Amino acid sequence: MEIVLEKKLVITILILLSGLLNLYAENGHSLWLRNQIPKQVEVICSKQSETLSIAVQELKQNWQGNPGAEVTLSIKFNKEIKGDGYILDSSGVQANTDIGILYGVYDLLRRQRIEQPTKELISNPSYEIRLLNHWDNLDGTIERGYAGKSIFWRDENEILTITEQDKILWQEYARANASIGINGTVLNNVNSSPKMLEIKTLQKVKAIAEVLRPYGIKTYLSVNFSSPAVLSGLKTSDPLDSDVIKWWKNKVKEIYTLIPDFGGFLVKANSEGQPGPQDFGRTHADGANMMADALKPFGGIVMWRAFVYSPKEKDRAMQAYSEFMPLEGKFRENVIIQVKNGPVDFQPREPFNPLFGAMKKTAVMPELQITQEYLGHSKHLVFLSTMWEEFLNSDTYHQGKGSTVARCTDGSIYPHKYTAIAGVSNIGLDSNWCGHTFAQSNWYAFGRLAWNNNLTSEDIAAEWIKLTFSNKSSISDFNDWQEHFLLPVKKMMIESREAAVDYMMPLGLHHIFAGDHHYGPGPWYAPPNLRPDWTPPYYHRADKNGIGFDRTQSGSNAVSQYHEPLSSQFNNVNTCPEEYLLWFHHLSWDYKMNNGRILWDELCFRYENGLNKVRGFQKVWDKVKNYVDEQTFTEVQSKLRSQCRAAQMWKDGCLLYFQQFSQMPIPYDIERPVYDLDKLEKMDFTKD
């Protein structure tokens, strides 16, 4: 009993410290949870737990409803509530679990802040497991991280050094996640070090888990498949070897002794040089099932990534389907295949990965990328919710019309034991967590869509804007604020992803980035010693005859991996959606588009449109200066300038490069390039 009380006291102190820190912060650190002066409220809660203590404290510190109101938090089983869902009604929050109560409290407070009705409603999560994937390394660096170093790791030699500031930061992180329904976190890079499973590292994981646990967040680890051989000197890491099986069972038992609610493993195997079961002549199912068997007695899961490709394949976009479909139905029930939204790699626009819907007997979970590896890092304003909404609503047709990616993965169509969705984190030590104020909206949007995959990007953007920028105590005319700030900023956010597609790679072009940092244009990038599928010409295939990757039946036949009617639709140039035109077809420069322009001219206009959109975003932001604090205004203004320069480089670099093949003039009503191609080819875009 004394231990429980001590933990409650620590949690309360952390909440208070966090509140004090955020009260004075105008640097974005408080995210969408910015403090307002609370009104008095009486909270009635018959049970006691660390989680319920947080729920009560949140209500008392953030209540914006009727002063002196009475709110009841009721743990009472209701069959209409699924998992950690909840019911909001006139008396308060009802749930089947403590964490369900906390989720309901955050929803109630959110609705007060954004002036949404709090009428009776039932809210159940779309996915049971909703987690962030951190690509953090033990030395504190983050692969594809653009917001400072890791919040979890900083020095392999002092891994057990944990400060009170660390705990406060982890608590703030946990609170932000819980407020949007995220209930899991993978603490390290998918390119995992075997050292993650050393006892001293696991002791650190235990400490992190203890801070996250009261907020309903389970910890998971990415693991290296060669860990048995590397850490314990076994002669092999063959998943069918008895000593290897025993090693994993013992390691799993050790983990659960330290962390009783440990979630499980995320595995990247036989991909980009990472070890895996294929090194021993085994299949992905052999490797995943071995780990799943070790985890099953403790309730753990294996998330096995389908991001695989080989330089020998004629079309990288086809390999995940080719490798995993023959294994359909051979995975244990606690194995979930984690699949990137598109068949290549988090591109600005891709068709959905054909594995979605095709795997019926095996659980499949979407992997989305919150960190903007291919979308301007933390320099560009790109609201990713529109991309994810487009993806989730894509119809696979595998069980007839309406078999959307969302319904094929959330249990609506295929009733697997587990449902899950993951987002690759954009979180680091920067004071505003994400490196860009508007990049916070993507963390927020992921959580909201993971909880409710039917939400619209319009609604999510409006929520985030109100929570982040609307402080009623400082707004004299709320209607004026909505007209002159909310509406134009929301429009900018909704248009931002399409603008990025246009100024980077329109009409289905993809993976034409500079070098390996994936920032800035590089359609020319093709070092002779580099494998072809790591170079842009492999994807754009520009020549004197035209441009685009032929994935039709007469090309790589990637269209065959899609269910009808999509296969035929994508195969036929006349029915293929224009946004995927050059993804599936290699077309002549004078191919006639639906609007009457030839392909070359349309490319020019698309690049011009993307650049002009970003210029327009600058104007929108300058007009709202009086509605935001000076620090935020200046930071976003600077980022938009950087984005505008980058868009100009993208437009000029791509058009001048492709013009060498088209041999056609840039249309005269298009603004002339301002950069020279030879200079762009030598430029380091990351130093802008």
So which residues are the catalytic ones?
272, 345, 373
From CA 154, how far away is CA 152, in angstroms rounded?
7
Strand 92-95 and strand 86-89: pairing? antiparallel
From CA 99, how far away is CA 183, in angstroms rounded?
9
Q: Which two three-digit tokens encode residue 277?
A: 């079961």
Closest to 365 (Cα-Cα) out of 423, 298, 420, 314: 420
Closest to 204 (Cα-Cα) out of 159, 155, 262: 159
- End-to-end distance of the chain based on CA atoms, in angstroms? 57
Identify the helix (H) or strand (E) that includes residue 367: strand 363-369
From CA 67, how far away is CA 40, in angstroms rounded?
5
Give burial (CB, 10 Å; 0-12/13-18/19+) of 17.
middle
Amino acid at residue number 316: R
Closest to 509 (Cα-Cα) out of 563, 459, 583: 583
DSSP state of 663: -
User: Strands, DSSP E only, in 544-685?
Assistant: none
From CA 535, how far away is CA 148, in angstroms rounded?
28
Q: Which residue has the tokens 């319920």?
A: 52
Closest to 375 (Cα-Cα) out of 678, 606, 144: 144
From CA 356, how far away is CA 409, in angstroms rounded?
8
